[in-house]
């Protein structure tokens, strides 16, 4: 049983109280959802819920879909994190001696709706952090509290785990480890809706959060700096693709395509709202606005080991490479795309340009992009239903293939880079093998479109003895059917026609060594047509659980939990078996350091607890 | 009206498809059910072309008595022969004919668009069959005999049909379902074929068309009071029954059963469920696993919270652009706007625009002219 803090009325642990508290939030009033789900290794329990402040009515609700990003802020000082004591004493601590620049004052203990920031040391540059207290502690000191009061009760330095999610025109940041349902920070975008974001855990300094907007604008910021600031605007942001200069140039040079007319019945107010921001002397921009052309951002990603490079994928089928260290003021024109149907890469003519490159991927929107863990490969999925895998440094299309039918909406890599999951409008979860360069399994189980997929890299097979022989993967998927599905992928059990040998070899195999093997079947750089239903082995889910009342939009695995997000901006944190009572404060650094290793080596703590659970909860 | 037309023309610019006309249809008091279906049918290109072909071929044979078919053909001709590219047309004669023909549609009450589509297609088939019979009896046959001679591609093996006359309406919309029943005692499979012009699907909250189709074809066990009379066992037996698509139609019309009779209330209720429909679809519940692929080209949308009132509009894909038809008004919309018509995942929502009838065209080229 999970601990409640004294007088806690958030009641996240039980269905009934959850519902009582959620009545203000639309879509959460249905009482049939369970606060746990069973797996062979034990129960996953609903630990926390995070959402936007209640009563919030977004004019654009439903128009933009909530995405969730998890961010681990490392501590700045060298001190080790302390072991958390209990849930009521809150989460992360450690790193004494660093000043807290902002503190939170909560209106009341149970409602915690009114939240604002007091204390104005926003100018502090010494990596000072934000303080995620549990609310009752704050409440105890809230009467006439001052920043210094807060400081005395905290030695927090900004290290912690945060959830970043977008709803309507706002980015919310929640403290992952606190019971508070409400976010600790909201950032409003007056001109357009934020639609995608990515956090760079490897960022050594400077900006680590990149945000893409529906308007096509892109911002990079420091998450820590946002948490320190008391306002509701982005601070210290670098603005890219301002006025959509990148897209507009392209649009002017290019013959109008379907995307010109992207428009109007639903976007018009966005365009109008941004008019006053425009530099009206740039006649091209005015003309552009009249055309109503905006290419919205669809997905953003930091390049692993990319030295601050990040990629923004747009709805017009292009993706752009930016460098955060560079100012974006240079000339950023790119040559006309000669053939819209062909993949092409263009580098900026000017060395001052930011973006530095444009990749034309496909016709129609790119819906999601994902880098393999080591950054060697970039996968894209889009409206045309194709998964494409590129060698990022060589800027080459390696392989890819079509969905059964309809657009693909999401994609994710296995930690070892051998498999890619995709999900889309055919209701299927597709497993793509990099060794085989084709689809090796279709997961059937969703009753609607698959909107999020992820490998559970923290999971190890309970039967695994550490040898590589019986390779097994756990992955999850979420769909618009409001379900979370968990799957086991055991390669030996799949009957894969045309497979050549066991899936072995290095995860970063060079394409040259394998291509000779496959040249006659699938040469490098070719895309496979949609397979026939009877030709692909099928998987069935291990667990299917309805987790929200709204269609789901996101799925994240952390060491101790599974996060699910729905389109309307509710996030649920499901603790893994054995993790229910503990807190995450002590695991973050392990989590970060291990995030780049192979799943089998990962987190021995986690694996042993699974073994225990699978014995005590035989399901 | 004129301004709206020019706005659409401006939006399309030099992308305006050659020879295409985008005309709104005037509403004569709750005739939006009719207008929305007419637009979907007009932009069902093989249907439109064959109707116009048929009409031009038949007009020469002298004065045909006015019927629903001639009225529809007149209307389509009227639209396609407009000098202007956009504007508004009053489908007066057609609507009058509909009201004359069927008392159901005579009142000014809100009508069901699916019922209307059903009525219209069946009426067209009847007229064509009558003409064909008349032509057979009189030797100077005029009504496109070559089309009849082509016959159905797949002969109906255990023919329930009284006659295998396949009109061009059939060729576009007709598919064949096979109802397979397997006796659980003797394992004999009995298959019974039936034709359909559209598929009516039960819907569930937060589901997809794919899932609804799967449920439609899912295996059902006949037992207890609902046993199956097996001819081989000569007795009532438990059996398993499932529906499969034996011949997928060229134009797949899917009707979402959004109006459900609630017994406790004694009336129909609208289900505003969110049912997502992809722009491309494959039928996997076919007999021969053919994976035939379809592309969405029209959606009739019901607007409103109840079954007895509201409004119908339609979304139409023409030459790779999506258009929004709301009686007189025609607008361009982005493809991504189609998803705002999926329905609502909450029971009470301000969004009451829900996809009701979906029109998919097969990508396999067959009866395209």
Angle between helices B68-80 and B113-137 (to 10 degrees): 110
Please state, rounded to an integer, the average pLDDT across all residues of chain B. Answer: 87
Rounded Cα gap, residues B288 and B286, in angstroms:
6
Which of A162-176, A270-284, B347-361 shows the lowest per-residue confidence on average (mean pLDDT)? Answer: A270-284
Cβ–Cβ gap B278/A426 under 8 Å: yes
* Catalytic status, residue B311: yes
Dihedral over Cα of B265, B270, B272, B276: its sign: positive
Helix axes B92-101, B32-42, angle to 10 degrees: 110
**Token pair of B358 as six digits:** 């979906």
The pLDDT of residue A619 is above 50: no
Q: Which residues contact B236 (CB under 8 A, 6 or more apart)?
A: B227, B228, B229, B230
Query: Nearest Cβ partner of A447 from B12, B211, B280?
Result: B211
Per-residue pLDDT, averaged over B108-127, amounts to: 92
- Closest chain B residue to A550 measured between Cα atoms? B345
Considering only the beta carbons, identify the residue of A261, A449, A530 that sits closest to B332: A261
- Which chain B residues have a beta carbon less than 8 Å from that of A256? 13-15
Share of chain A above pLDDT 70, in %: 58
Confidence of residue A32 (pLDDT cuts 50, 70, 90): confident
| Sequence-distant (≥ 6) Cβ neighbours of residue A7 within 8 angstroms | A109, A110, A136
Residue of A nearest to B323 (CA): A265
Average pLDDT over residues B297-306: 94
Q: How far away is chain B from the Cα of A342, in angstroms, using its nearest Cα? A: 19
Contact A261 B207 (CB under 8 A): no
Q: Which of B32, B34, B71, B183 is catalytic?
A: B32
Torsion of CA A291, A294, A295, A297, to 10 degrees: -170
**What is the band of A467 on the pLDDT scale with cuts at 50, 70, 90?**
low
Section B301-314 average pLDDT:
90
Alpha-carbon distance A53 to B136, whole Å? 74
* Stronger pLDDT, B2 or B249, i.e. the higher one: B249
A38, β-bridge pairs: A43
Q: How far apart are CA A133 and CA B228, in angstroms?
A: 67
The Cα of B191 is separated from the nearest Cα of chain A by a number of Å equal to: 23
Token digits of residue A194? 């934020």
pLDDT band at A245 (very low <50, low <70, confident <90, very high): low
Q: Is the pLDDT of residue A474 over 60?
A: yes
Q: Is the pLDDT of residue A21 over 80?
A: no
- Provide the token pair at A566: 């729905």
Among B13, B274, B332, beta carbon nearest to A263: B332
| A319-333 pLDDT tens trace | 999 999 887 666 677
Query: Do B346 and A549 lie within an 8 Å CB cutoff?
Result: yes
Region A191-205: what's the mean pLDDT?
A: 90
From the CA of B205, how many Å to the nearest CA of chain A? 8
Q: Answer whether B280 sits within 8 Å of A425, measured CB to CB.
A: yes
Task: Give residue B103's pLDDT.
Answer: 84
Provide the pLDDT for residue B368.
40
Cα–Cα distance between A575 and B134 in angstroms, integer?
A: 75
Residue in chain B lying closest to A427 (CA)? B210
Residues of A with CB under 8 A from a CB of B: 26-27, 62-63, 256, 258, 261-267, 315, 365, 385, 404-407, 425-427, 446-449, 480-482, 530, 532-534, 549-551
Torsion of CA A455, A459, A465, A466, to 10 degrees: 60
Whether residues A258 and B321 touch (CB distance < 8 A) is answered with: yes
Task: Work out the minimum CA distance from A451 to partner chain B, whole angstroms.
Answer: 12
A160 Cβ contact partners less than 8 Å away, ≥ 6 residues apart? A72, A73, A91, A92, A129, A130, A132, A175, A176, A177, A588
Q: Which residue of B has its CA nearest to A265?
A: B333
Question: Per the structure block, which two tokens stand in for A581?
Answer: 């009572």
Which chain B residues have a beta carbon less than 8 Å from that of A447?
A: 204, 206-208, 211
**B353 vs chain A: nearest CA distance in angstroms?**
13
Residue A360 CB contacts under 8 Å (≥ 6 apart), including other chains: A317, A318, A337, A340, A342, A343, A344, A345, A346
Cα–Cα distance measured from residue A486 to residue A482, given in angstroms and rounded to the nearest whole number: 13
Residues of A whose CB is below 8 A from B11: 261, 263-264
Alpha helices by DSSP H, A378-427: none
Residue that wins the pLDDT comparison between A245 and A420: A420
Q: Where are the domains of chain A?
A: 1-52+407-494+536-619
- pLDDT tens track for A57-115: 555 455 789 999 999 988 664 443 444 333 333 333 333 333 333 333 333 333 333 33
User: What tens digit of pLDDT does each residue of A278-304 get?
Assistant: 333 333 333 333 333 458 999 999 999
Residue of A nearest to B212 (CA): A447
Separation CA A9–CA B362 (nearest Å)? 56
How many residue pairs bridge chain A and chain B with CB atoms within 8 Å of each other? 103
CA distance A132 to chain B (A): 33
For residue A549, give the chain B residue with the closest CA.
Answer: B345
**Banded pLDDT at B348 (limits 50, 70, 90):** confident
pLDDT at A273: 30
Which chain A residue shows the shortest CA-CA distance from B296?
A406
Q: Which chain A residues are closer than 8 Å to B12 by Cβ?
A: 261
Rounded to a whole number of angstroms, the distance from the CA of A389 to the nearest CA of chain B is: 23
C-beta atoms of B208 and A480 within 8 A: yes
- Considering only CB atoms, which chain B residues are within 8 Å of A446? 211
Catalytic residue (one of B110, B114, B311, B321): B311
CA distance B313 to chain A (A): 15
Gap between the Cα atoms of A443 and A457, Å rounded:
19
User: Which helix (H) or strand (E) element contains residue A545?
Assistant: strand A543-546
- B94 vs A82, more confident: B94
pLDDT reading at A20 higher than 50? no
For chain B, the residues whose C-beta falls within 8 A of a C-beta of chain A are 11-15, 204, 206-208, 210-211, 274, 276, 278-282, 284, 289, 291, 293, 320-321, 324, 331-337, 340, 345-346, 351
Whether B12 and A550 lie within 8 Å, measured CB to CB: no
Evaluate whether A362 touches A388 at the Cβ level (below 8 Å). Answer: yes
How would you classify the pairing of strands B251-256 and B199-201?
parallel
Interface test with B, best of A31, A33, A61, A62 (most B CBs within 10 A): A62
Domains of chain B, first to last: 2-150+165-362 (3.90.70.10)
The model's pTM is 0.78
Closest residue of chain B to A444, computed from CA coordinates: B211
What does the alpha-carbon distance between residue A218 and residue A195 come to, in Å, rounded to a whole number?
10
Q: Residue A594: how many CB atoms within 10 A of its CB?
A: 20
Closest partner residue to B284 (CB to CB) among A262, A448, A533 is A533
B281/A406 touch (CB, cutoff 8 Å), yes or no: yes
Cβ pair B278:A62 closer than 8 A: no
| B267 burial via Cβ count (<10 Å: 0-12, 13-18, 19+) | exposed
A140-174 core/surface letters (b: 16 or more CB in 10 A; e: else)? ebbeebebebbbebbbbbbbbbbbbbbbbbbbbbb
Which of A405, A449, A551 minimises the CB distance to B282? A405
Q: B357 versus B152: which is more confidently predicted?
A: B357
- The 10s digit of each residue's pLDDT in A501-540 is 334 333 333 333 333 333 345 677 889 999 998 889 999 9
Q: Is ipTM over 0.85?
A: yes
Q: Which of B280, B291, B351 sits opposite A406 (nearest CB)?
A: B280
Contact A264 B11 (CB under 8 A): yes
Which tokens in the block code for residue A44?
């996953």
């Amino acid at each position: 049983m999970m601990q409640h803090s004294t007088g806690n009325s958030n009641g996240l642990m039980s269905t009934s109280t959850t519902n009582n508290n959620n009545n203000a939030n639309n879509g959460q009033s249905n009482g049939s959802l369970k606060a746990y789900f069973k797996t062979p290794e034990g129960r996953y329990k609903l630990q926390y819920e995070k959402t936007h402040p209640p009563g919030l009515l977004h004019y654009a609700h439903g128009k933009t879909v909530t995405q969730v990003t998890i961010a681990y802020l490392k501590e700045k000082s060298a001190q080790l994190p302390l072991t958390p004591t209990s849930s009521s004493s809150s989460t992360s601590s450690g790193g004494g001696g660093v000043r807290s620049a902002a503190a939170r004052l909560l209106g009341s203990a149970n409602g915690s709706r009114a939240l604002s920031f007091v204390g104005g040391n926003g100018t502090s540059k010494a990596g000072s952090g934000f303080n995620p207290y549990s609310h009752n502690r704050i409440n105890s000191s809230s009467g006439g509290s001052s920043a210094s009061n807060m400081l005395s009760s905290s030695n927090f330095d900004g290290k912690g785990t945060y959830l970043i999610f977008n709803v309507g025109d706002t980015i919310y940041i929640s403290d992952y480890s606190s019971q508070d349902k409400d976010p600790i920070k909201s950032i409003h975008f007056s001109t357009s809706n934020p639609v995608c974001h990515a956090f760079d855990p490897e960022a050594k300094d400077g900006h680590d959060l990149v945000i893409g907007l529906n308007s096509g604008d892109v911002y990079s910021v420091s998450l820590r700096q946002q948490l320190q600031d008391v306002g509701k605007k982005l601070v210290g942001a670098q603005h890219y693709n301002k006025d959509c200069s990148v897209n507009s140039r392209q649009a002017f040079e290019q013959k109008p395509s379907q995307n010109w007319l992207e428009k109007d019945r639903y976007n018009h107010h966005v365009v109008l709202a941004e008019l006053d921001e425009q530099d009206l002397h740039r006649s091209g921009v005015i003309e552009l606005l009249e055309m109503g052309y905006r290419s919205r951002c669809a997905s953003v990603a930091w390049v692993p080991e990319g030295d601050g490079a990040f990629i923004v994928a747009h709805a017009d089928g292009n993706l752009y490479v930016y460098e955060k260290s560079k100012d974006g003021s240079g000339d950023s024109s790119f040559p006309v795309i000669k053939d819209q149907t062909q993949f092409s890469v263009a580098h900026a003519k000017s060395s001052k340009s930011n973006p530095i490159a444009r990749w034309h991927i496909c016709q129609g929107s790119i819906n999601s992009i994902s880098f393999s863990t080591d950054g060697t490969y970039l996968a894209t999925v889009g409206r045309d239903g194709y998964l494409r895998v590129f060698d990022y440094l060589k800027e080459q299309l390696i392989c890819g293939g079509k969905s059964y039918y309809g657009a693909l909406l999401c994609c994710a890599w296995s930690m070892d880079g051998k498999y890619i999951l995709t999900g889309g409008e055919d209701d299927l979860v597709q497993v793509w093998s990099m060794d085989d360069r084709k689809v090796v399994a279709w997961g059937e189980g969703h009753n609607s479109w698959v909107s999020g997929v992820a490998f559970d890299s923290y999971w190890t097979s309970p039967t695994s003895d550490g040898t590589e022989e019986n390779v097994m993967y756990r992955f999850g998927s979420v769909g618009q059917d409001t379900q979370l599905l968990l799957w086991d992928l055991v390669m030996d059990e799949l009957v894969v026609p045309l497979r050549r040998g066991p899936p072995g070899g290095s995860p970063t195999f060079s394409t040259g060594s394998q291509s000779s093997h496959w040249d006659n079947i699938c040469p490098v750089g070719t895309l496979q047509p949609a397979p026939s239903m009877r030709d692909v082995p099928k998987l069935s889910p291990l667990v299917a659980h309805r987790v929200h009342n709204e269609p789901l939009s996101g799925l994240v695995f952390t060491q101790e939990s599974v996060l699910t997000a729905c389109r309307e901006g509710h996030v649920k944190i499901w603790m893994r078996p054995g993790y229910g009572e503990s807190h995450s404060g002590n695991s973050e650094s392990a989590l970060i350091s291990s995030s780049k290793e192979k799943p089998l080596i990962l987190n021995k703590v986690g694996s042993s607890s699974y073994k225990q659970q699978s014995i005590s909860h035989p399901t | 009206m004129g301004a709206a037309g020019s706005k659409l023309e401006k939006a399309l610019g030099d992308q305006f498809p050659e020879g295409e006309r985008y005309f709104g249809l005037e509403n004569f008091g709750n005739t939006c059910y009719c207008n929305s279906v007419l637009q979907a049918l007009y932009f069902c290109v093989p249907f439109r072309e064959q109707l116009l072909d048929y009409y031009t071929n038949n007009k020469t044979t002298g004065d045909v008595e006015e019927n629903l078919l001639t009225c529809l053909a007149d209307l389509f001709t009227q639209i396609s022969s407009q000098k202007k590219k956009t504007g508004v047309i009053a489908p007066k004669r057609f609507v009058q004919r509909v009201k004359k023909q069927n008392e159901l549609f005579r009142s000014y009450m809100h009508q069901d668009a699916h019922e209307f589509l059903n009525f219209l297609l069946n009426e067209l088939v009847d007229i064509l069959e009558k003409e064909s019979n008349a032509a057979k009896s009189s030797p100077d046959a005029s009504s496109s005999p070559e089309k009849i001679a082509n016959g159905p591609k797949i002969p109906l093996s255990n023919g329930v049909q009284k006659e295998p006359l396949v009109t061009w309406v059939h060729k576009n919309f007709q598919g064949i379902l096979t109802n397979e029943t397997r006796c659980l005692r003797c394992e004999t499979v009995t298959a019974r074929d039936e034709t359909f012009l559209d598929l009516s699907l039960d819907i569930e909250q937060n589901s997809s068309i794919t899932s609804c189709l799967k449920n439609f074809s899912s295996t059902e066990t006949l037992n207890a009071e609902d046993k199956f009379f097996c001819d081989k066992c000569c007795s009532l037996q438990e059996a398993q029954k499932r529906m499969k698509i034996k011949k997928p139609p060229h134009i797949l019309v899917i009707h979402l059963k959004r109006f459900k009779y609630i017994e406790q209330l004694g009336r129909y209720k609208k289900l505003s469920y969110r049912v997502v429909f992809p722009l491309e679809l494959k039928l996997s519940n076919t007999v021969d696993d053919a994976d035939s692929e379809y592309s969405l080209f029209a959606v009739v949308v019901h607007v409103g919270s109840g079954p007895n009132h509201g409004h119908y509009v339609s979304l139409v894909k023409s030459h790779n652009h999506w258009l929004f038809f709301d009686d007189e008004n025609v607008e361009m919309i982005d493809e991504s706007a189609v998803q705002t018509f999926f329905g609502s995942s909450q029971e009470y929502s301000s969004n009451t625009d829900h996809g009701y009838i979906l029109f998919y065209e097969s990508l396999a080229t067959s009866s395209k002219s």
